[in-house]
Chains A and B, each alone.
Chain A
């Protein structure tokens, strides 16, 4: 499968009164055609900033550099603002976390959905209305004409998120970036919205970047998972590799903090400490001070990236050959056993 998006060494810096904030620090990421890539990390880890940099919608004072920022065959960095507006909405679309604040409160939702077609394909009048209504129907909302005539505050949370998705998909983009699309919704609606995104993905041959802080909802939808911490990608691999053969202690922490209904554990695991201050360019591994497995070297030098398979990369000193033997938490060891058993089954086939 070819890469539809390629990001190499992306750096984003925001000016701030207390000095520059290094929000994204050398992110390498690729999105394969037709896959769902989950971008997972805590708040402030740089997930959204990475995708906003890709679309070129960061505030003007943000400083963005990258060795490569490619969509299909176009170098996004070399495009003018005008050419970028042609790509946004029609090729790359975004769904936001909170549809109530992401929709204009004083404009009817039908008009908001239609704007994409109005300006990209110059549709007007009845054709535009028909296209908008068809798209509203496509995201499983009944009575599209009525929905289109409503203002955002007149719709329910689930309806609003469907409207957001309709707005993102009406331009028939190739890539959908879903930025925590279910965080503002209750659990039953979350499942519905995830199903909807999956269904639309298959129907329209979309490639999806799914941003979330919740590994739990990623399990069923992601082909690959990238774990972000403090503006860096610390581990990336297929969903299997991340869930059953995780190597980075931060990934372990994230996996252990997902509630597990099969387990009788009384208390949920929480990662100690808080993410580092992004004003500082850290020496060594930014995760070191929260990492029970940290080595002396973690505080001194940036960890190398180790490749474990064609798809699995880990940025940690733990995988250095000189690292003394260590034992991951029991819960993670169990996962590794499952992974090895699956791998064995695979070799028997």
Chain B
């Protein structure tokens, strides 16, 4: 064998034996001194100078910022209990942790800065310096298995409810409302929500089926979510079956993360609008997603909103509009099974209006839809956060207990005055989801206070939601910005007929031209 051939063989063998993870982590973590400077500037506010997850902002957050001193990380590619790989740390830094306060730092910090800060974060725990620690990414099949056909998903569902019992925490329909959910705590003793599996865009470690499968294999260390790897080793289930479970979980969320659009288009329907949230009409109407965020402008601020957004649909008939709002909420508040959980939330999420933690109370769930009193001609709208003394807003408000809907004027978060006009609201609660339909006449007598819903206009609209079992009431709520409702005018028949007519005429003329040309050609040939 020539020297060159020998070298080739050596290279090939080396390449073949290099573990896959080496390719996944091209980085060598770098300078901890520079990393510290980045950390102090960008990370310490939440994670604390000593890395204990106790920075000045931490007390308002749920989930709390990571405590680096224990080196316990939720999102890893390694077995339960193992340290994360460098690539795992970089992923969290680069892409952030959706559904938490941790943003993506790629693009905000340079490649070097991000690597340096990852190296510095590792200095907070002696585990990273311990060379006896085994750190290796679990190896998975590269392509997702399981299949997405109905029978595969059905088997996934069977594992979900009968075999592995995911429903104990995540609930029968996956909205995080299982019987054990109100007892859950993380390792630090903070309350933790079982994930709502209908919102994969908020999964901390990503929402693809591969991400879900990886979480099932690794577990989320520091949380109640265990690893299922032992079950494969002990042949309780096969790898393919675990993939099916992952595919089933993936199938609970929409194909893509919901796109936020500014305008809700409401079609006009023949007959009368549905008043029930479970009417079959709603299955044929587009739904729009509006994200909600914590109310952090006025005291008492609320940084841990339980409702992450609302799905909205609207239709109208000649006289009435129907607006359907649905949102995920683990409880039909007030629910005594969740009172202790609520107390833990109030003790965890620091209040800015009272020093001692608040006492849990059986608050109801609430939802509010807000309009200006008049459709504005320009872009001027009332203050989005429940109006002002001089420019109040018109609101529809619904509470779960007592179950009722009222319309009124809000002049601030604190001041709401009910109006006498009728507002119908019908709600149903099903496995962690509220579905609520408001119906109201397009035109009402009180034109001074109640917005007149005119087709063809852009009607400003905003949303507010409260989950009573998470301690939300008053200013502790989730809010949206202004969006628009458009009652679409039915398209006049002419719009559809004109193009058809035009096509027929064009085709006819074309045929005439062709015919004449052919006739002329034939005549010439005959000569």
A interacts with B: no
Q: Could you tell me which A residues sit within 8 Å of B by CB distance?
A: none
Interface on B for A, CB 8 Å cutoff?
none
